[in-house]
Structure 1
Amino acid sequence: MASKALFSIIPRVKRKEEKEERKRSFLKNGSMLLEDLIASCDGKSHPIRCYSAAEIIRAANNYPCCIIDRSPFADLYRGILDDRTVIIKKYRDWVDTDRAIRDIIISMQMSTHKNSLKLLGCCLEFEMPALVFENAGKGGLNFDGSLVADNELLPWKTRLRIAKQLASALTYLHTAFPRPIIHRRITSHCILLDDDCVPKLFDFSLSLTIPPDQLYVQEDFATGRMGYLDPTYVKSRQISEKTDVYCFGVILLIFLMRRQAAYWNDAGNAWEYLTRDPKLNVSDGQIQIETIADPKILEEVGGDEQAQQQLQDFLALALLCIQEKTEARPDMIDVAKELVRIDKSILP
């Protein structure tokens, strides 16, 4: 029954008026989508299906306990369409329609990458478009990097592989298109895992494209999730590829330390940030990995010197990504290459 409430936007009026409302929404959203498609990729993109409102509602009603995640901007839940389990993203009515359209377009462009959540289609008949994605059986991650479904702690090798594959997806986002696309809001909630724990990056609603012959976009104000915000971006309001690199560095720290990016202090009266943990700010010598790593990882690694060095290299990369000066941070492609090297540093 909960799924029906998700679509309370459908007015309880006569069938004819309902059809007219859906038609108006379809024409409005469809024209916006077409206009942005032409501007973004010359009208060429990965083909997707256009679902009706009735199909989306039936999909939700056919799946019990369907809610995966709720955010201030959208609900994410499972449904059944064409005899397959899918993930449906339904934006809230007050959200700017441009965000949903942008999410559709960039999701279409990214669907060819194996570590991006594949967009199957969308529905334009609601006031706000709904997106239909492939299923990701394991679901999402908690703020500390554990699995939402059962708080399962992922093994170190799995965390490292997930980081490596996410870096590949972000590198693709930055380099595979005529102009770099910045994700802009990389957090643990933008990552879903399939049944084999293969990561799927999604939520491109705040993404933007760097204009030709420019290295950044100047914004009026900074936006992002607490704990992930690039301090240089906050000060300058200039967003670039290095903004994503900073956020990804925070993700690496979460995977290594199993800590939240932002949390209340012991007194419960102020926020503290993982990137400012005193244990990470050691000026005289190397950080002792046993003082900051997740105990589960340390238990797995034991006294293996090669594995200890692997953790140390992973930490060094994370700290490089969160350097305050943007020019000191690596490009995403170099982050991806280093993660491949770290992964191969211990032979199976």
Structure 2
Amino acid sequence: MLLSRYIQNNNFTGEIPHALLTKKFLFKYDGNPGLNLPRRRKNELAIVLATTIGAFATFVVLLVLGCFWLLRARQRKPEKSDNREKNNSLRIMSRTSTPYPLVGSTSLAIDEGLDVAYCITFSAIKEATGGFSKKIGEGSYGPVYYGKMEGKEIAVKVSADLSSHGAQQFINEVTLLSRIHHKSLVSFIGYCQEESNKILVYEYVHNGSLRDHIHDSVKKTNLDWLSRLLIAEDAAKGLTYLHNGCNPAIIHRDVKTSNILLDINMRAKVSDFGLSKQATDNSFTHISSVARGTVGYVDPEYYASQQLTDKSDVYSFGVVLLELISGKKPISVQDYGVDWNIVHWARSLISEGDITSLVDPCLVGTFKIESLWRIAEIAILSVQIHGTSRPKMQEVELAIHDAINIEMGSKDKTNHASSTASSDHVRFSSMPFDFMSSNFQNNINFPSLR
């Protein structure tokens, strides 16, 4: 078999055959200027050229389409962002259930983290409540009824205002409620707006309000000091979320023991956002023509100036803390005499260092004095006359957490003095207090408050 051929330095002429140029055959032909390499066939050149042009054309088309798609996407994005806030109410109000949304077979749906409220038909609510037969309370919004819908217990709040006015306010209310999601706040499930009916549906909280327990001679015995601290911490977390976790921030405006509900495990959830207001981004304040709130809890500075701030909620929560310590109601001539309210009475005792006279008698012997003083201190700071002298809600929450740690013994393992210590008087901290003159509150009447 011929494997090679050498024809160097001869005078051969013509075109070299393809067979001699294969890699399997060694062919040496240098020194023959008349020999030429074979020419490419025209059809082969046409195929190569067509393939190259086609690939380039495809690339150009894909590039143009990609640029066009990106341009359209960028044009649509700002438009959606600008219109989101405007369409928020409409989007919420148009999202309806059939007649109400379900997750699984036995629980109503709640879109955690989504600004969505479900519309529930009036007939479905009427059926769930047994024709509104079981009234369980009365709030600022109106009567509250117990119901059961697909195995889930619900609380149905029916607006006392049956007029057609306030439709936009109701939409704003639903918009506000639909974006609040926190374990220490009562969960909002849905709404109904048919004809003159304006109804809000919430989860049902089994153990009633803190007021029901703290001011009931039998129930209060089940609330030891640590239980009261845990309830206070839960409520403080809920309010901290409203102030710091919502954008814009939300001011509750009606913090009180009857708006702190207790679940089956005696953990607290803040309720009744019917009076809540969104704070402005810049000043964290809200100016209103009429002060809202409840006598004994309302911030005197807010009442006098009509300027609502997050510190107004702090004042009201300070009153709640004093109730948890003393077991007494915020307003009572019988309990406080000339002081007439819990703030004046508590401030007078604490300024004298007399903590045990402040304590609910059923708590005696069940707490550590340091944890009690920690709560008393933050409570008095919270009810200062000027809002700028009060702590923020997050600071109140941290103080309560410190008291819990002290009570549970996770901090300061030294021997804590008990509430039965021989000395009933403890010197209060040296922190300056903005004590409210009695004339300031005594000169204020509260005709428009509940």
Alpha carbons of structure 1 residues 346 and 144: separation in structure 2 relative to 1, 3 Å = closer
Structure 2 CA distance for aligned equivalents of residues 338 and 123 of structure 1: 40
Q: What is the CA-CA distance between 1:169 and the residue it aligns to?
A: 0.8
Q: Deviation digits for residues 272-326 of structure 1, max 9, x if unmatched?
A: 321121x52258542x22101101111423xxxxx11111111111000000011
Q: Which structure has the larger Rg over C-alpha atoms?
A: 2
- Give the CA RMSD over aligned residues: 3.1
Conserved? CA contact 1:180–1:210, under 8 Å:
yes
Which of residues 357, 364, 375 is equivalent to 1:314?
A: 375
Structure 1: which 5+ runs fail to align? 1-30, 39-43, 302-306
Supply the distance in 1 between the matched residues of 2:118 and 2:212 (Cα, whole angstroms).
33
- In the TM superposition, residue 101 of structure 1 has moved relative to its aligned partner by 3.9
User: 5+ unaligned residues in a row in structure 2: which ranges?
Assistant: 1-86, 95-112, 410-450
- Residue 227 of structure 1 and its aligned partner are, at CA, apart by 0.3
Are 1:179 and 1:211, in contact at CA under 8 Å, matched by a contact in 2?
yes
- 1:179 and 2:235 aligned: no
Identity, % of aligned positions: 25
Contact 1:192 1:200 in 2 (8 A): yes
Cα drift, residue 179 of structure 1: 2.1
Over residues 226-275 of structure 1, what are the superposed CA-to-partner deviations in whole Å (9 max), with x where a residue is unaligned? 0011111111111101001000101111111111112344899x993211
2:118 to 49, 54, 70: 49
Tell me, yes or no, if the aligned pair for 2:213 and 2:219 is still in contact at 8 Å.
Answer: no
Correspondence 1:251 to 2:320: yes
| AA partner of residue 199 (structure 2) | A
The CA distance in 1 between the partners of 2:119 and 2:404, in whole Å, is: 40
**Corresponding residue of 2:420:** none
In 2, Cα distance between equivalents of 1:247 and 1:267: 18
Letter aligned with residue 91 of structure 1: S
Paired position in structure 2 for 1:136: 205
- Render the CA deviation track for 1:73-110: whole Å, top value 9, x for unaligned: 41112111112211111111258455544443333222
Structure 1 residue aligned with 2:135: 67
Deviations 1:190-238 (A, max 9, x none): 1111100111111111111122322422222322110011111111111
The alignment partner of 1:172 has SS state of helix
Does 2:140 correspond to 1:84?
no
Question: What's the CA shift string for 1:145-196, capped at 9, x where partnerless?
Answer: 3469966642211110010111111111001122221111111121111100
| Mapping for residues 1-348 of structure 1, pairs under 5 Å | 33-34=89-90, 45-61=114-130, 66-71=134-139, 73-93=141-161, 96-97=166-167, 100-110=170-180, 112-142=181-211, 145-146=214-215, 153-265=222-334, 272-277=340-345, 279-282=346-349, 285-286=352-353, 288-301=354-367, 307-347=368-408
Q: Using a 3 Å threshold, how does the CA distance of structure 1 residues 318 and 101 change in structure 2: closer, same or farther? A: farther
Would you say the 8 A contact 1:115–1:169 is kept in 2?
A: yes
- Counterparts in 2 of 1:125 and 1:284: CA distance versus 1, 3 Å: closer
Task: Give the 3 Å change call, closer, same or farther, for CA 33–189 of structure 1 in structure 2.
Answer: farther
Instruction: Kindly indicate whether structure 1 or structure 2 has the higher relative contact order, using CA contacts under 8 Å at least 6 residues apart.
Output: 1
Which region of structure 1 is more displaced relative to structure 2, 144-153 or 291-300?
A: 144-153
Equivalent residue pairs, number: 303
Distance 1:219 1:67 in 2: 32
Does structure 2 conserve the Cα–Cα contact (< 8 Å) formed by 1:245 and 1:332? yes
Distance 1:72 1:116, change over 3 A: closer
Q: Is the 8 A contact 1:100 1:205 kept in 2?
A: no
Q: Give, in whole Å, the separation in 1 of the partners of 2:326 and 2:398.
A: 22
- For 1:266 and 1:248, the matched residues in 2 are separated by 20
